[in-house]
Amino acid sequence: MSTVTTEPLLLYSRTQRLPRIRPRNSHLLNPPLLSFRSKTIKLFSNGASFCNFKPHQRAQPVRDSSTDAAVLNTFQSTDVSFKETFRLTRTQRAEGKIFFRLDQGNDQGTWVLSIGCNLPGKWILHWGVSHIKDNGSEWDQPPKSMRPPGSILIRDYAIETPLKKSSEQDIFYEVKIDVIPKAKIAGINFVLKDEETGAWYQHRGRDFKVPLVDDLQDDGNMISAKRGSCPWKGVLRSLLNIILKEESSASKAQGSISELEDTKQKKSFLQEFYEEQPITKEIAFENSLTVSVWKSPERAKNLLYMETDLPGDVIVHWGVCRDDAKYWEIPEAPYPPKTTVFKNKALRTLLQPKEGEKGCSGLFTLDEELEGFLFVLKLNESTWLKWLGNDFHIPLSGSGGLHSQLGQRQFDVSKAETADTNEEVSPLAYTQGITNQIRNLVSQISSDKSRKTKTKEAQESILQEIEKLAAEAYNLFRSFIPTFSEETVSESEFQKPSVGICSRTGSGFEILCQGFNWESHRSGKWYMDLKRKAAEISSMGFTVIWLPPPTESVSPEGYMPKDLYNLNSRYGSIHELKDLVKTLHEVGIKVLGDAVLNHRCAHYKNQNDVWNIFGGRLNWDDRAVVADDPHFQGKGNKSSGDNFHAAPNIDHSQDFVREDIKEWLCWLREEIGYDGWRLDFVRGFWGGYVKDYMDSSEPYFAVGEYWDSLSYTYGEMDHNQDAHRQRIIDWINAANGTAGAFDVTTKGILHSALERCEYWRLSDQKGKPPGVLGWWPSGAVTFIENHDTGSTQGHWRFPSGKEMQGYAYILTHPGTPAVFYDHIFSHYQSEIAALISVRNRNKIHCRSMVKIIKAERDVYAAIIDKKVVMKIGPGSFEPSSVPARWTLAIERQDYKVVFAAVSSISYLAIVKMTQKGFKTGFDDIIVDSFPIFDGGCVIEPSNEMDNCKMYSPCSF
């Protein structure tokens, strides 16, 4: 669950009337997140415009149409050629209050504590009490006399009570608790939970606390009437001690003091008070947009009518197109009322309020020969609406739009296949036709199947099928392109997949090696050291290696880059880097560069003595720095992500910044030979910019570091980490799938599962892996340690002694596994090599299917692609229930991996691999005594693979 920290706002006296706080005007709230029910709208809230237009340009007024009223009257007499209603759900951030009030009750000596909220929701008070003799902030369940109706016991320390409306007309949700001072209760502790969103609201990061006795320790989370302290309290206490000592013996005096202290501590000092705390919440609103097109033959015009119930001022940013290329044009006048020209490239029309109804509408008169009407909706300067990531395209000619060719469910490639060989077919026309049919098919699914995809189960099933079809389609088209000659294929190359699955995952069978740690810069010759180990890394089965940041940097590790084109770093020179990359390519390993794009250290100070002026080839000024970074006084736009406060945060919304970064990445690809990227601190800028950079540099493999905290409740990790993995998936979506992301969710869950012996955590509520790999495996790069979390930094070190359990998990599961350098060259090397060998032999890839067989307190077991069974944890498990013949691959304390007996690997093949220096990883394999047929020979294994005997068919 997420925790929202609130800060105190106002302190009222009891006589003040409780104000009713309503959400601000909906169109002025923070940018909403919108999604269609039957279609999808992507919302971009960074101020960037669509269609390559800048929205901040001053618009030019044009004349209105004088015939719209007459045109509207012709609607009923014309035929509708197109009509579509887009239903959408948008969320807006509403601001409200949590209030606390303590009043005297009707009975003498009783009090009533009221806790409420003025925002709609399903609010639950999670609360308990602390007794007078309790230490610290211990919780306990309140006595029955204090429990309001409807309360539910939570374990043995708290209860949960729902907040209710006092009346149907009231917007306040409230709960009242009877407080009895004589019950020896020191205070009431609570947090407020919103069951609709799963958010927990606390006070300054701590539980709310209402004290019921004086001298209760205030940890900064106290909610009560404010009372001043007496400066003479210590002096009076000393005088009291002297008087008591004079009147009785020392023992009696001490007893009297203790008794007096105890009496004082139990004495209640309740006072009436009222206090408020601010609260924000995302509230969902339902809206719709309907677009209709009529043909008016007598006027040779198309009439397009648009209406929506979106609140506030809605501006249509629009143009027309004449063919399938969908290039924006400004049509000839007349235009609707309130229309302005934008940069001579588009028009902007303010939709007019509907008389007597909510919402607004607009009528557009368009020439008959136009093919389509293009538009996006502008709600405010930071909120634009698109359709499926593209401009809305409404067909005017009856072809090529949202609903054209919807009945055609299969690719029509027969014409291309049977065409006359002498007739030249345009590649652009062919590819455009294929992509248009794909879009049409998606539109059909979106409109026809929306009612059947309401449940998450159905959606997940469809997504899995789409991923499979995408992989098949990719392989199909790749297979048409010859990539090598059969004569030149070596045996080592033949072992690797020849086709890829998608750009961000390489072949889909990649295994990533992090080729450095936090101290690697110290030698000054790291590139040369790694070059000597290139062949060994390749022989273990790694296909991709991640190298450290190559640029000149203020910090020796490379993560505070300065001159991006200066590649002489603490790891070595640019020439040594090129030599290393060349060597890695020769042994069949792709190379990722560590690209730090979020921030950059300046060369010079500005007139205010602030470091925000850059030198070198990219000599940017303070316009390249975001405006909301308080440390560096940037003059750019506001940041589209979280700020990194140690260096100036770069404003990627600036055109010149993006063009320079794209040029730099392409230069690195060509000059150094990088095959892809590891992207540092991608939380700092919008994922849409990443898509731009990836589209330009075309990496073979790319992965972003999106790292934030998992959900905890009172120091204990929550079982449900859906919100955490959803944030990572949202970033991958924002980057349009051009890069994967490190599966921080899986690492965090492995921490708790292995350290606390809670292996049940490795299965989510639906019986799937609980990390990103359980939802989007091809986008997940799994890992257990890296230079930040382990090494000498140790920010989030994996549980000691449990590392191989972690690798047994990620090297047998889908996703792209990454192995840390320190573990590769350690006593774990042979075990890691054996696990990689099992993964490669059984062709486990980033989309492999996982079936969790067991997830209990002390054991986790799963079967992957029906070929590999793995088990981790001290508990027992044997794959006896699986109807296949299994061979033990590796077994160590607390983990075991077995795989199905394979009949396609012969002793001759193993000899060939060994002769080439390839480590097989079969040292620990015990083979069942059954023959393997291969190429007319029979192999009779004994207990060890090296003792296999080979017979010819006749001798058998």
Please give the backbone phi and psi of residue 545, each rounded to the nearest 5 degrees, phi first: -130, 140
The span from the CA of 682 to the CA of 877, in Å, is 40
Dihedrals phi, psi of 753, to nearest 5 degrees = -65, -45
Q: Partners of 851 in the beta sheet?
A: 863
Structure tokens at 922: 């079969």
CB neighbour burial string for 764-788, b if at least 16 within 10 angstroms, e if fewer: beeebbbbbbbbbbbbbbbbbbbbe
Rg of the Cα atoms in the chain: 34
Contact 359, 386 (CB under 8 A): no
For every residue of 878-937, DSSP letters joined together read -GGGSSS-EEEEEEETTEEEEEE--SS--HHHHHHHHHTT-----TT-B--S--EEETTE
Cα 240 to Cα 257: distance, rounded to the nearest angstrom: 8
Question: How far apart are alpha carbons 391 and 411 in whole angstroms?
Answer: 24
What SS3 class is residue 851?
A: strand
Q: Pairing state of beta strands 158-162 and 208-211?
A: unpaired
Instruction: Please choose, from the candidates 317, 327, 309, the residue with its C-alpha nearest in 3D space to the C-alpha of residue 376.
Output: 317
What letter represents residue 170's amino acid? D
The two tokens of residue 9 are 């706002």
DSSP labels, 170-219 = ---EEEEEEE-GGG-EEEEEEEEEETTTTEEEEETTB-EEEESSTT----
Classify 586 as helix, strand or coil. Answer: helix
Candidate list 275, 563, 594, 705, residue with the active-site label: 705
> Which letter, b or e, does each residue of 351-375 get, where b requires 16 or more Cβ atoms within 10 Å of its Cβ?
beeeeeeebbbbbbbbeeebbbbbb
Beta strands 780-782 and 816-819, pairing class: parallel
The DSSP bridge partners found for residue 899 are: 868, 887
Residue from 680, 692, 743, 764 carrying the catalytic annotation: 680
680 a catalytic residue: yes
Torsion angle, alpha carbons of 44, 50, 54, 60, to 10: -120
Residue 944 among the catalytic residues: no
Strands (E), 368-433: 372-380, 383-385, 392-395
CA–CA separation, 256 and 268 (whole Å): 20
| Bridge partners, 810 (sequence order) | none
Residues with catalytic annotation? Answer: 680, 705
